[in-house]
Amino acid sequence: MKRFHWLTLWEAVGTRMYLDTSTRKRRTHWVSVLALLLAVAVVGLLHAETISPRRLLEVTDLGNPVISPDGRYVAFRTEQASIIRNTYDTRWYVQALDGKSPPLRIADGGVPLREYVTGLVLPSPAVWSPDRKWIYYRALFNDRVSVWRAATDGSGTCSVTSDPADVREFVLSDDGRMLKYSVGATREEVSNAEESEYDHGIHIDDTVDIAAGLFRSSKLNGRPTTQKFLGDWFSTGPLLAKVPDRWKTVDLATMTTRDLSAAELPAHPLKAANLSPDLPASPTKIAQNPDDGRIAVLLSGHKDKGLAVSRYVELAMLPDRHASRPIRCMTKLCHHRYIADIQWRPGSDEVLFTATDNDKAQSIYGWNVVTGTVRPIVLSDGLVSGSQRYWDIPCALSSDTLVCVAAEADHPPRLEAIDVKSGHQRILFEPNKKLGADIAATVPARLIRWKDKQGREFTGQLFEARGDSTGHPPPLFVTFYNCYGFLRGGLGNEWPLATLAEDGISALCINAIPEYRLDPVARYDQGRAAVESVVKLLSTEGRIDPSRVGMGGLSYGSEVTLWTLAHSDVVSAASVSSISVTPTYYLFNSLRGAFRSNLRETWQLGAPDETPKRWREISPVYQLDRIRAPILFQMIEQEYRMALDYALPLERRHQADIYVFPDEAHIKFQPRHKLAVYERNVDWFRFWLQEYEDPNPAKKQQYAHWQEMRDAVSAGPVRSGGRSGG
């Protein structure tokens, strides 16, 4: 898309006015024309920024819907980035399910609580009081996590707990008079333990993340925190995270707190370990009917040869916790499905389950465990259980209504009420309506399907750029992994797809085939095949220029991007945000048995001197001579050192540009960091795929560096056709 040039406008209009000055009427006419053209110019400039990176970043997310005990209201929380304060604002609302009135804002929700490793927002559902006068919720204010309550009429909030330790979980008594909560080590105890390590020297063992800083190298609940490995793979947490729960209770009438005795502890939710050991498979999810104790379970399905896990799960029911023969859902609508969530419909024999298709669209069905029948309730083109920035948030459910957070690739999150019997859907709250309308009017997404040479079917969401005035097809950007919900920037949310499309680069998010193969070569090469085959398809149709293709990815998507660069010439420029396996990656984590066993099982890699052939086959460190495209690295401080084996050699030969972001999780979450990543990725791909440079003077040094890189890679994108893997 060409940017509007003011000088061209003034020259064209000025010349025409000079030639046509015979009458006052004509002068008046051309003044009107000038005004019209100026208006068009302004609209054009505004249109060019309709779907800006900042606007995508500032989408209002929704989560944690909970229906009131009487089934008439829903409480839910919103979350929105604040660039100025570099944080997120959360707010609690209550709304009547009849939808006749807008939601009532009743409380601030504090800073969102996040999963320590991934950075994703944790579920933080509210609990209604039995009389519907209050909701209770965990919230982070002033670097401490407490239980708060808010009056549902909006009249006020207060902190229920004031503990020297952060609250881990809480339970409200059935009568609403007592609140039980658990804590671990106090904040002072954690701080003292960190200081003690600092003073006496930090002992390097298998709990230490050597690749990160050793003292308060990350943040938890707003506080600089020393992190430790807690167990499997890369599970980490703060110092003293393994201190056992201590339970306390608050009398909500007097607001007095006391410790709980062992006999007073709340009952633990039913777990797989509480069920019969003779079940054919260990349940991956459990939902118990509170009325009669029947248990709905999800069981791992048949695992094909060569796969780490099954592609599907089976839905079943157990009459009680001692049953060993599950009653399976046998209808076609249950078979060969990935079922993400199950819950009992109150007062019925029906289990509602959410199924996710290969194109990442979700639907909700009802299974009657007595008759065996299954009926569709909601058939969706996107998510009905969250909005990408959150973990998978199930719908709230009463006896007759579902309340879900719905979102599609080009349609931002909104809150919907769904009649369980009829499936009729109503929008309750749509805070991003204007953005959705603008995307629909400029660069709407559409689902596409295609096959590679092996006949494997892939799906993806394509934001197609409008052609330029020359009729030349646009470049293409692809990101590979999963395309859930509203696609701000693909998985990891780093490549603003709608912005790229509006700027003249078609943007495609590709879904990986839902199988996790034990052979990493097969896993990675799936991505290469997907990219090559879709580029061939779209270029044959004349919709993209195959010589101008960019690619980016997070985590597995980063690995696939580097693999594709080494085994195909289809990609002209790339951007990655995560690490691939390297000798340094192995060295930094080699003290941990869980890491070594997982690496051997999942990558067939031992130490570099034990399995040298496999390392040469898989790691980009040994494939640098095959990588010719320029790469932008935008990585987190916790990980980047493990990628220096290949990032620094590429930087030395002017083929890489490296940026590192402190205090971030695997998926970056700080708003200023996200905006910087968004904008730099747009600049990067416009530079390499369109030869466009933003005239902003602040970016002069950036482009000077990239021009040096362009000279070093022979002043042009690598064309396809040289090293295809077939």
pLDDT of residue 114: 87
Return the structure tokens found at 444.
């709407």
Query: Residue 253: beta bridge partners?
Result: none
278-442: CATH superfamily: YVTN repeat-like/Quinoprotein amine dehydrogenase (2.130.10.10)
Alpha helices in 20-140 (DSSP H): 24-48, 53-57
Residue 28 burial (10 A CB sphere; 0-12, 13-18, 19+): exposed
| Of 65, 62, 78, residue with least CA distance to 343 | 65
Identify the residue whose tokens are 């002017």.
654
**C-beta neighbour count of 62 within 10 angstroms:** 29
Cα–Cα dist 269/363, whole Å? 27
Question: Do the beta carbons of residue 429 and residue 436 sit within 8 Å?
Answer: no
- Count of helices and strands (H, E) across the chain: 14, 36
Helix (H, G, I), strand (E, B) or coil at 300: strand
Q: What is the pLDDT of residue 217?
A: 86
Q: Which residues of 131-153 are buried (b: 16+ CB within 10 A; e: fewer)?
A: ebebbbbbbbeeebbbbbbbbbe
425 in Cβ contact with 102 (< 8 Å): no
Helix (H) or strand (E) holding 675, with range, is helix 671-690
**Burial label, 432 (beta-carbon count in 10 A; 0-12, 13-18, 19+):** buried
Q: How far is 149 from 247, CA to CA, in rounded Å?
A: 19
In degrees and rounded to multiples of 5, residue 599 shows phi and psi of: -65, -40
Query: In the structure encoding, which two tokens stand for residue 343, read together?
Result: 């819950």
CA-to-CA separations, 397 to 140, 153, 366, 591, in angstroms, rounded: 27, 22, 12, 46
d(CA 414, CA 433): 8
Query: pTM for this one?
Result: 0.89
pLDDT, position 62:
94
CA-based end-to-end distance of the chain: 34
Residues of the chain with pLDDT under 50: 1-48, 716-722, 724-726
Q: How far apart are CA 354 and CA 363, in angstroms?
A: 6
For residue 447, what is the enclosing H or E element? strand 445-451
pLDDT at residue 302, as a whole number:
79
Query: Which CA distances in Å does 69 have to 72, 89, 207, 466?
Result: 8, 27, 45, 50
- Nearest Cα neighbor of 482 from 527, 450, 443 is 527
CA distance to 76, 104, 425, 431, per residue, from 428 (Å): 11, 12, 9, 10
- Strands (E) in 272-312, as ranges, are 283-288, 295-300
- Classify domain 443-582+619-712 by CATH architecture: 3-Layer(aba) Sandwich (3.40)
| pLDDT at residue 5, rounded to an integer | 30
- The pair of structure tokens assigned to 434 is 């204007």
Q: Where are the alpha helices (DSSP H) in 49-202?
A: 53-57, 187-200
| Angle between helix 6-19 and helix 24-48 axes, rounded to 10 deg | 170
Task: For 604-627, give one letter per residue: b (16+ CB within 10 A) or e.
Answer: ebeebeebeebbeebbbbbbeeeb
- Site of tokens 């804002």: 105
Structure tokens at 676: 């910087």
The first and second tokens of residue 187, run together, are 């904040």
Query: Mapping DSSP to helix (H, G, I), strand (E, B) and coil, where does residue 363 land?
Result: strand
Helices of type H across 415-519:
433-442, 497-502
Structure confidence at residue 262 (pLDDT): 93
Structural domain spans, the chain: 6-48, 188-238, 278-442, 443-582+619-712
Tokens encoding 569: 């010439």
Q: Going by C-beta distance under 8 Å and a sequence separation of 6 or more, which residues neighbour residue 438?
A: 50, 51
Distance CA 207, CA 237 (A): 10
Q: Give the pLDDT of residue 187.
A: 95
Residue with tokens 């330029």: 468
CB-based contact 631:685 (threshold 8 Å): no
Instruction: Provide the token pair at 331.
Output: 């209808």
Token output for 226: 């020393």
The type of residue at 441 is A
